[in-house]
Chains A and B, each alone.
Chain A
Amino acid sequence: MRGVLGHFKELDSAVEAITELKAARLGALTVFTPTPRHELEAVVAAPPSPVRLYLLIGGLAGCVFGYWIAIWASNYWPLVVGGKAFGSWIPYTIFGFEVFVLIGALSTVAGLFIHSRIPRLTMMVGYDPRFSHGHYGIWVECAPERAASAEAVLRKHGAVEVRGER
């Protein structure tokens, strides 16, 4: 993996650089930002996150399991009390709900990890500690012959530092 990394101190400079880099199609872009910004979200125009599906699937599975374990255990050890049903679904809604939340939320976190590609044991190329503090960064993954063009675009829009990495 090789490319060019540009640092920006200003948000609007980074936004403008991304716009031009996308138009020029110089390579795949990775944008770094110390905090989520809608300006960047809009210009990157990535598809919506699918983590909601993890919640839905995990939650439904958890809900079914919560009801099932309570009903199955009640039928396995039937306690005959005043002709009442063994599997009483009204109180078992508590188990259905709690396990829905438990598995649904944990699945959501799993979705976050899978799609964000974390845990990541190495920071790889194209990262700088300043990105977590206040700088914006653009990593352009491109072939060496396009690096000069990418660097020119980054510098044109006010990158305070541009460096090639591999």
Chain B
Amino acid sequence: MAAIAYEPRRPNIASANVQLPAVRDYEQVDNEITSTLRPTKAWFLMLIISIGCLGLGVGAFLYQLHQGLGVAGYNPPVMWGVYIITFVFWVGIGHAGTLISAILYLFRAGFRTTIYRCAEAMTVFAVMTAGLFPIIHLGRPWKFFWLIPYPNWRLLWPQFKSPLVWDVFAISTYLTISTTFLFVGLIPDIAVLRDRETNPLRKKILAFLSFGWRNTEREWRHFARAYLFLAAVSTPLVLSVHSVVSFDFAMALTPGWHTTIFPPYFVAGAIFSGVGMVFTIIIPIRKYFRLQHFVTLNHLDAAAKLALTTSLIVGCAYLIEFFIAWYGGVKAEQDFFWNRVFGQWWWAAWIMLTCNMILPLSLFSQKLRRNPTWLWILSIFINIGMWFERFVIVVPSLSHEFEPWMWTTYAPTWVDYSILIGSFGWFFMWFLLFVRQFPVIAISETKEIVPPRVRHAHAHTPEDAEDFEPQTGRAH
């Protein structure tokens, strides 16, 4: 029998060294992954809760619009508070998606295959959430478009040397590219949904969204290259965005902020918090929809190692900050860091250190890395810890600047807390709507790691065996 003409070459798509032994064929992939699209009572309940939280936030924002920014807990010189903290928090959450979908794709990390769709969707909705906060923080939020360079009638342009304008470019680029990346990856899966759909109206909508994708080899060839290059340009983008966000702080002559460690420190923290949120979302999804054989313990184990690595980097950055303060010999800086950990803000700093440095050390235990319950609990601590990290960066610095007469305190008001809760409602509302409409696990990429059906069990020649994985029919 003729052997398959196989030419060993570098694969266009991420190799999957994390196998799915309980997934037998393509039909099972289609049936089980699309089962997440059926609405359930729990889904409706969570959607109602999310919309309720969003309503609370919108109500508080409308109240703030009417009364002015004074209803938020600003206390000069602490003019950055919960809004900027939450902005940085959500931008950070938005980093894991593109990291998992782009950087791990380039590194051929197989464990990304069944979790990247969730992470990508999370990224888009997290950046959408983050983008609201600089606008909420404005005194006149309806003038936000003044930051965008456009030829207006007096030819006024934004100040291009301002980190806030850098932010506008970085965040809007990141949102556009993340959305594009998510949507391009979805096109073949939408085609699967289109071909399964029986409702004529939904079928038409899906046909429109799939752009008439037909699964031809020609389409796949261009798709694979385009996806690779999108991943290639998204990778430095991930690193640049949070670096630019860190410049908002590092460019200011404020104790605790004016340091060159901020870009890598922020990027590592962003990835750490994003992986934490991935666990928060993916673990209930895999349990609720019974997808444990798609998102296996091996996948969680590998993602937990990523969380551990970034936690160690973040922990190292915390310690280096203290070292720099001591070694730099600047009294104001030293006093500030002492105040941060043992003074006025000790409680926030210790929440941060406990959640981000100490608890993640448990991931050195393989048993805990493979325990979904523990990973989920830990992810909640990571989310809390990373919000407090931004609190510790923003508030103590502004409340303890160089001059003692400037030292003050800060207490968020109910408006701050309501808008914070509203941001979670906004994020989860979009995510739940996404889960209901699109597959949360990439169908086409999952099929790549499922052995294809073959007529002849030994369809390849022994000479090819070194370059060919019988399990998957793929190149090494």
Contact = CB atoms under 8 A, between A and B. Distances in A.
Given A91-B166, A92-B160, A123-B214, A102 B229 contact: no
Nearest to B240: A97
Interface in B112-139: none
B213 A36 contact: no
Interface residues of A, number: 74
Contacts of B156: 77
Interface string A65-106: 010011001101101000000001001101101111110111
B216 A132 contact: no
B27 A101 contact: no
B157 A134 contact: no
Contacts of A34: 26, 192, 215, 444, 447
Contacts of A57: none
A3 B177 CA distance: 40
B455 A10 contact: yes
Interface in B226-279: 226, 229-230, 233-234, 236-237, 240, 244
A76 B225 contact: no
Interface string B176-209: 1100110010011001101110000000000100
A36 B219 CA distance: 9
Contacts of B166: 91, 94-95
A41 interface: yes
Interface string A36-65: 111111111010110110010001000000
A116 B9 contact: no
Contacts of A13: 455
Contacts, number: 223
A123 B218 CA distance: 15
B5 interface: yes
A35 interface: yes
Nearest to A38: B475
Contacts of B169: 66, 94-95, 98-99
Nearest to A94: B166
Contacts of B188: 132
In this complex, which of B149, B196, B215, B453 has the most chain A Cβ atoms within 10 angstroms of its Cβ? B215
Given A15-B5, A76-B157, A105-B234, A36 B214 contact: no
Contacts of B13: 36
Interface residues of B, number: 75
Contacts of A33: 215-217, 220
Nearest to A52: B229
B35 interface: no
Interface string B429-469: 00000000000000011011000111110010000000000
Contact of A105 (B27, B180, B195, B459): B180
Contact of A10 (B6, B196, B454): B454
B413 interface: no
Contact of A44 (B11, B207, B212, B217): B217
B308 interface: no
B160 A74 contact: yes
A88 B161 contact: yes
For the residues of B in contact with A, the DSSP-based class is helix
B425 to A, nearest CB: 30
A112 B184 contact: yes
B166 to A, nearest CB: 5
Contact of A133 (B26, B219, B473): B26
Contacts of B452: 10-11, 37
A69 B222 CA distance: 32
A116 B149 CA distance: 34
Given A33-B220, A69-B149, A116-B223, A12 B160 contact: no
Choose among A30, A31, A36, A129 the residue with the greatest number of B CB atoms under 10 Å from its CB.
A36
A120 interface: yes
B378 to A, nearest CB: 33
A120 B166 CA distance: 38
Nearest to B170: A98
Contacts of B170: 94, 98
A115 B218 CA distance: 8
Interface of A: 9-13, 15-16, 19, 30-44, 46, 48-49, 51-52, 55, 59, 66, 69-70, 73-74, 76-77, 79, 88, 91-92, 94-95, 97-102, 104-106, 108-109, 111-113, 115-123, 127, 129-134, 158
13 contacts: A30-B217, A32-B217, A36-B217, A42-B6, A42-B7, A51-B222, A95-B169, A112-B223, A116-B222, A119-B211, A123-B212, A132-B188, A134-B30
5 residue pairs, one from A and one from B, having the closest CB atoms? A120-B212, A129-B195, A134-B26, A73-B157, A112-B226
Interface of B: 2, 4-7, 9, 11-13, 25-27, 30, 149, 155-161, 166, 169-170, 173, 176-177, 180-181, 184, 187-188, 191-192, 194-196, 207, 211-226, 229-230, 233-234, 236-237, 240, 244, 444-445, 447-448, 452-456, 459, 473-475
Given A35-B447, A73-B160, 18 more contacts: A10-B452, A11-B459, A12-B454, A12-B459, A16-B2, A16-B4, A34-B192, A35-B444, A36-B220, A41-B12, A41-B217, A98-B169, A98-B170, A102-B177, A112-B223, A119-B211, A123-B207, A134-B447
